[in-house]
Every structure is written in C-alpha cells, then in structure tokens.
Amino acid sequence: MKAVRVKEFGGPEVMSYEEVDIPTPSENEVLVKIEAAGINYIDTYQRTGLYQIPLPATLGLEGAGIVTETGDSVSRFKVGDRVAYTNVAGAYAEFAAVPEDKLVAIPDGVSFDEGAAAMLQGCTAHYLCQSTYKVKAGDRCLIHAAAGGVGLILIQMVKDMGAFVIGTVSTEEKAELAREAGADEVILYTEQDFETEVKRITDGAGVNVAYDSVGKSTFEKSINCLSRFGYMVLYGNASGPVTEFNPATLGPKGSLFLTRPTLFDYLATREDLDWRSGDVFSWIEEGKLNLRLKHFYALSEAQDAHQALEGRKTTGKVILKP
C-alpha cells in the first residue's frame, strides 16, 4: 500500500510518499481501508518535531473508512462496517490497523469526509465548549483562527449554546466564513489590534472565555481580553509555542483561569469517545452542524496540503484521499 512517511523532522519536504506493507491487525485491532484521512495542525507539529514522535513514522491522527479485517478478540465491529477514529498514528495511508476501543461507527447520514473531520476537530470543539469551559447562554467568547477547521465548528457549537461570539481571522474572505458560521463580530487580527477591538465590542467588559489556538502571537493579548474570573483556554501553537509566562499576572487581571488542554485527555474513556463523537455525528445528521469540506488532496499531495495549511491558505477541513 501507499503511505506518507517521515524519517526526519523538518519542512513539508520531509514527507515521502512510499510503498509499505499493509499492517496486520493484532487481536484487538481492525484493519481499516481509509477513505478519508483528516489533516490537522498537530500533524505539522509532529512533522517539524515541535511535538516529538518516534521516527520513522506514518503521519496522520484521524481517519474514516471501511473495516476489511478484524482481530480475533474484536467484538464491536465486523467487516464492511463504516468507522472513524482519532488518536492512532498512521492515517496518511491506504490502510491502518486501529484498536477497537478507539473506533466508532459512522451513522448512515454522515459521509466518510465528515466522519474524518468529526473525530479530531469536531470532538475538540465539543470538549472545549462542553468541558474545558462549559459555555453558558449569554457568555461572550473569543475564538481565534475562527475560519479554521476547529474554529468554524466551535463557532457553531458555542452559538447554539446561546453565547455571543467574537472571531478573529486574517482575511476578509475568512471573516465572511466566520460570519456565516454564526460569529457576531469578526476582527481581522492581522490589521486591527484585537485587544482594543474586543474591549470596544464588549464596552470594556471583556470576554468570559478566550479559545486561543494561535499561541505565541495572541496569548498575552487574549489574557487581557478576559473579564473577571475569565478562562484562558490555550489549545494550540499555530504561530509558535508560548514559552514564558508568569502565573502571578493572572491575579491582578481578574483572578483568571489558565488551562492548556489536549483532546486525548478528553477522549480517554469509551464514555467520552461515544458521547463526544455521538453528539457531533447527530448534529451533522440534523443539519445543526455544517462542516466546511473544500480542501481535498490525493495522498501523494500531502506536501502541498501541509504547505497550504501552514501558509494560512485553507479554511475548514483539509482531507487527504488515499
């Protein structure tokens, strides 16, 4: 089979499209023929070595496809089932061996492309607004990179919970997408000072929660946008990691909370996996959650896909089609 492999950390050019053996599922695994592999920003961190992974490796943490083989002890799934998963390495490939405890069935009304997008980005948006900071009706929320994969989903979920949403994006085209997803106000943070704008929009009150996946370039100002007891949810590093911070500053700024969550803790149990993916799938089926699926690449074009994602050229989900 074909797979996208990385043997050393570096730019998109370190990804090679290669012939490798089809994995053999162990007794608790199923073999999935991948129909859609989700590309996520975390893949770029693993490729560059910002997040260290053992090498050589096949990239990709999110996939959807069809079960073609099952290990002896597998009981939940059978050959022919439509399934999706996240948090198992190796989705940039034609086949992946996946432990059954990481797999969920995809309902009939959900496509493979939607299934792939739902697992990592959908479940991330879900945990951010349902668990890390449980949004309440009337809350004011700041969402950075609002037209990105997680961003567009998070806006829709938070709006559905009755919040007021301020999004930030880099271009007017992205601003339009954020508005269509439900954002009440959108700031072009590449042209305007978003801290000043948030204070203006909220009449100085600030926001109850800042969902910040941009990191280095936004972190400090995001904290300054918070109201008393506000939550700073730092969940990514698209502009680089935050490396220096003095927790004592949280006091005088309003007894603030700071957290640095990761999806894999919020999907650690079967209960969480079924709850979050089940909600996301049913909201897709009900038409309550629209996924933007416009960026498709062949498996052999993974380098182009990473260049586009890191070059801020994509909106919504980016999918690799084996």
Nearer to ligand NDP, 68 or 171 (CB): 171
Among positions 249, 262, 269, 300, the unique one binding ligand NDP when judged by CB under 6 A? 262
Residue 67 in tokens: 């079960």
Q: Is 49 a binder of ligand NDP (CB under 6 A)? A: no
Give the binding range for ligand NDP (CB under 6 A) out of 9-17, 229-237, 276-284, 297-305.
Answer: 229-237
Q: Is 130 a binder of ligand NDP (CB under 6 A)? A: no
Among positions 12, 90, 115, 149, the unique one binding ligand NDP when judged by CB under 6 A? 149
Among positions 129, 145, 154, 284, the unique one binding ligand NDP when judged by CB under 6 A? 145
Give the binding range for ligand NDP (CB under 6 A) out of 6-14, 53-61, 198-206, 231-239.
Answer: 231-239
DSSP conformation letters of 99-145: EGGGEEEPPTTS-HHHHHHIIIIIHHHHHIIIIIS---TT-EEEESS
Query: Partners of 143 in the beta sheet?
Result: 167, 211
Nearer to ligand NDP, 82 or 102 (CB): 102
Among positions 110, 118, 214, 256, the unique one binding ligand NDP when judged by CB under 6 A? 214
Interface pattern 290-319 for ligand NDP (x via CB under 6 A): -------------------xx-x-x-----
Q: Is the dihedral of CA 7, 13, 15, 20 positive or negative?
A: negative
**Would you tell me how many other CB atoms lie within 10 Å of the CB of residue 313?**
11
**Beta carbons of 211 and 128 less than 8 angstroms apart:** yes
**Please, what is the minimum distance in Å from the beta carbon of residue 125 to ligand NDP?**
9
Q: Is 122 a binder of ligand NDP (CB under 6 A)? A: no
Amino acid at the residue 102: K
**Beta carbons of 99 and 77 less than 8 angstroms apart:** no
Alpha carbons 178 and 301: distance in angstroms, whole number: 27
Cα 239 from chain centroid (whole Å): 15
Residues in the chain: 322
Residues within the interface to ligand NDP (CB under 6 A): 40-42, 120-121, 124, 145, 147-151, 169-170, 174, 213-214, 217, 235-239, 261-263, 309-310, 312, 314
